[in-house]
Structure 1
Amino acid sequence: MSFQTVLRPRSVVPWPARLAARLAVAAAKPLTHLSPERVRRLLALLARGARPAGFAQVATARDAVTTVSLVCAGREGCLQRSLATALLCRARGVWPTWCVGIRTAPPFAAHAWVQADGRMVGEGVPEGYFRVLFSVPPHDTREATDGRRGRG
C-alpha cells in the first residue's frame, strides 16, 4: 500500500474561507472529467465580468484550497487545484489567468496552474519551466462595453 505525503505547514485559514474553499474544491472535481475544450469554454464564460486578480488574492485563494484538500495539495492535483483556485477567486469577484501547458524539459508532463500579475502562483519553479498551450485570462466585459460607448 502506498500513500502520498504532503509536507507543508498548515495555514491559518478562517472558517468562512475554509467553507468557501471546500465548496470550490467540490465544484472543481466534476470539471476535471470534462474535455479540455469544454473546461476552457466554461471558464471563459465564468471569467466574463470579473476584475483581474492580484497576486496576493490568488495566493490567498490557492492557499485556502490546498489547506482544505489533500488532493489539491498533492503533486498530482494540479488540475483540480487550479480549477478550485480560479472558482474561489471568481466567487470573490476577481479572476486569475488559468493556464494549461507542458513542461519544457524532459520528461514530458502536462500541468495546470494559475497566474496573476504575469507570474505563476505557488508553483515554485523558474520562469519558462512550463509552456502555455492555452489559457483563460480575466475578461472584464464592463470595460469593453464602456469603451464601445465612448466611440459612438
Structure 2
Amino acid sequence: MPMATGRRNHPSPAATAFGAGAGLLVGFALRVLPFAWTTSLARWLARQTARPATDREVLSVLRAIDSGARFVPFRIACLERSLGAVLLLGCRRRSVTWCHGFRTPPFEAHAWLTGRAGEPLGEPPTTTTYQRLLVISPHTNEGISS
C-alpha cells in the first residue's frame, strides 16, 4: 500500500529516479528469478550493512519508491516496494528488517519493513494483523519466524 506523500515530504527528482530504478529492478527480478534467489540477496544485503537504518531513512526510501512507481511499466505492490527499499538501503550499507506474512480470512499476503522498535513503517495500522512467515534482518537472519 503506497504511502501518501505530501508536498513537504516529496522526494527529490534524483531520489524518485532511484526509487523507480529499484522498483523496476526488483519487479523484473521477482518475475524472472526464483523467489529463493531474491530472499538470498536480501539476506546477503543484511549481512553487508554497516548499521541499522533509522526510521526516517526507511520512510524516505519508501517515499522515493512510491514516487518512482508511477514511472515503472507495471504495478509496484508491497513485495516490490519493500524489497526495493531493502535494496536501496543495502546499497547505502544500512540494514532494515523485511517481513513477509499472511492473514485469514480471507487469505491475504503482505510484505513490509519494520523499524528499530519492531513496528511496521509506512504501513497502515492493520499490518499488525498479519502473521509473520518470513523475517530477514541483520539480527535474525534465519528466515522463518515462529
Normalization by structure 1: what TM-score?
0.74
Query: What is the correspondence of 1:3-152 to structure 2 with a 5 Å cutoff?
Result: 8-9=4-5, 11-33=9-31, 34-50=33-49, 51-70=51-70, 71-72=75-76, 77-103=77-103, 105-117=104-116, 118-126=118-126, 128-138=128-138
Amino acid at match of 2:107: F
Q: Which runs of 5+ in 1 are unaligned?
A: 1-5, 140-152
What fraction of aligned residue pairs are identical, expressed as a percent?
29
Q: Let me know the Cα RMSD of the aligned residues.
A: 2.1
Find the counterpart in structure 2 of residue 149 from structure 1.
Answer: none
Cα distance change, pair 96–127 in 1 and its aligned pair in 2 (3 A): same
1:8 deviation in Å? 4.1
Residue 12 of structure 2 aligns to which amino acid in structure 1?
P
Size of the alignment, in residue pairs?
Answer: 129
Q: Residues 22 and 63 from structure 1, CA distance in 2 versus in 1: closer, same or farther, beyond 3 angstroms?
A: same
Q: Report the residue type matching 2:20 in the other structure.
A: R
Cα separation, 2, equivalents of 1:9 and 1:116: 19
Write the letter of the residue equivalent to 1:30.
Answer: F
Q: Which amino acid aligns with 2:19?
A: A
Show CA shifts across 1:38-67 (max 9, x none). 222121112222121121111110011001
Higher Cα Rg, which structure: 1
Compared CA separation, residues 101 and 19, structure 1 to 2 (3 A): same
Q: Which amino acid aligns with 2:97?
A: T
Closer, same or farther: CA 80–7 of 1 in aligned 2, 3 Å = closer
Deviation at 1:134, TM superposition (A): 0.9
TM-score, normalization by structure 2: 0.77
